[in-house]
């Protein structure tokens, strides 16, 4: 495995593999890897000849007062984990390499899909995400790129960017990786105190209760949301930011659940950590299933 910090060098190395007819799988991350990231890597390793993992804490996707400076970083640890999983290259540029002129003058933006869920509360976040992902796609030029379903709005928006801007890349979604008690794995889980960590699984439990209500026949989205909010507000120290049910197609909130694909999602502050989770599901006739 090789760690590369130069865009020019990575392009040259990958060009040789591409000329040899080898497929390239790409896993973009902000580092401080956990089992969720490693599951993305494992899927990429199964599907491709060459696997590239990027590790870059992207400043353009952090808003004022967010945790850019305190976001956990440990390249040596990440490199050890990647090497064990058979990663071929880590791309670990510094901020100057990615943004040599400071903040870029050109961004990739998104309409409508970012109006709700996390996008409502993090203005500019998805503009920063799309811009850095587009840059990384142009640098790595992968055949496939791997994203977790935990960041469901990010996944949906990146899929739309690839479609609308004609990137010749297959986006491969990978299921959310969870701790044994159900908590979605996240680098920000390190912010939790022991007491906060003990109650954090109740976030997903609350979503599952809401999903069960839908399975039992409830089609009024407002009633489902109210039930989940009540459960979340009962978690010691929890401060729910939102609970919403949105259509998968356009990420817009719905009032009545009909046949279609939906996302039941929440963001909850617990201590200093902002934790997100979701359940994507499909209604077809009388059947309701995770999708």
pLDDT bin (cut points 50, 70, 90) of residue 286 is: confident
Catalytic residue among 34, 37, 96, 116: 37
CA distances from residue 80 to 3, 74, 184, 189 in whole angstroms, order as listed: 11, 10, 23, 21
* 158 and 201 in a common domain: no
Q: What is the pLDDT of residues 213-234, one digit of tens each?
A: 999 999 999 999 999 999 999 9
* Residue for token pair 């997100």: 276
Q: What is the pLDDT of residues 114-151, one digit of tens each?
A: 999 999 999 999 999 999 999 999 999 999 999 999 99
Total Cβ atoms within 10 A of residue 4:
19
Q: What is the pLDDT of residues 61-73, one digit of tens each?
A: 999 889 999 999 9
The range of the structural domain enclosing residue 261 comes to 187-285
Work out how many domains the chain is built from and give that number. 2
Question: Pick from 154, 7, 9, 158: which is nearest to 95 by CA?
Answer: 7
Q: What pTM was estimated for this model as a whole?
A: 0.95
* Domain harbouring 79, CATH code: 3.40.50.620
Which of 143, 174, 205 is the endpoint of a domain? Answer: 174
Residue 37 known to be catalytic: yes
Q: What pLDDT is recorded for position 52?
A: 98
């Amino acid at each position: 495995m090789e760690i590369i910090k130069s865009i020019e060098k990575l392009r040259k190395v990958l060009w040789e593999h591409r000329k040899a007819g080898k497929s390239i799988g790409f896993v973009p991350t902000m580092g401080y890897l956990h089992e969720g990231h490693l599951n993305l890597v494992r899927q990429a390793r199964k599907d491709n000849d060459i696997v590239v993992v990027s590790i870059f804490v992207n400043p353009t996707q952090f808003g004022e007062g967010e945790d850019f400076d305190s976001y956990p970083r440990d390249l040596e640890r990440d490199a050890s984990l990647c090497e064990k999983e058979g990663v071929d290259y880590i791309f670990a540029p510094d901020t100057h390499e990615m943004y040599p002129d400071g903040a870029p003058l050109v961004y990739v933006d998104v309409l409508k899909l970012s109006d709700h869920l996390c996008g409502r509360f993090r203005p500019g976040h998805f503009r920063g995400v799309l811009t850095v992902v587009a840059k990384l796609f142009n640098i790595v030029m992968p055949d496939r790129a791997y994203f977790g379903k935990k960041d469901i709005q990010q996944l949906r928006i990146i899929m739309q960017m690839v479609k609308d801007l004609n990137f010749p890349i297959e986006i491969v979604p990978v299921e959310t990786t969870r701790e044994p008690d159900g908590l979605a794995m996240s680098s920000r889980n390190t912010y939790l105190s022991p007491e906060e960590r003990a109650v954090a699984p109740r976030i997903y439990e609350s979503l599952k209760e809401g999903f069960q209500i839908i399975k039992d026949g409830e089609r009024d989205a407002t009633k489902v949301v109210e039930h989940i909010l009540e459960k979340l507000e009962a978690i010691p120290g929890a401060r729910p930011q939102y609970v919403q049910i949105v259509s998968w197609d356009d990420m817009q909130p719905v009032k009545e659940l009909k046949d279609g694909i939906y996302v039941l999602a929440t963001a909850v502050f617990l201590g200093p950590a902002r934790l997100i989770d979701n359940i994507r599901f499909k209604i077809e006739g009388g059947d309701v299933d995770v999708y």
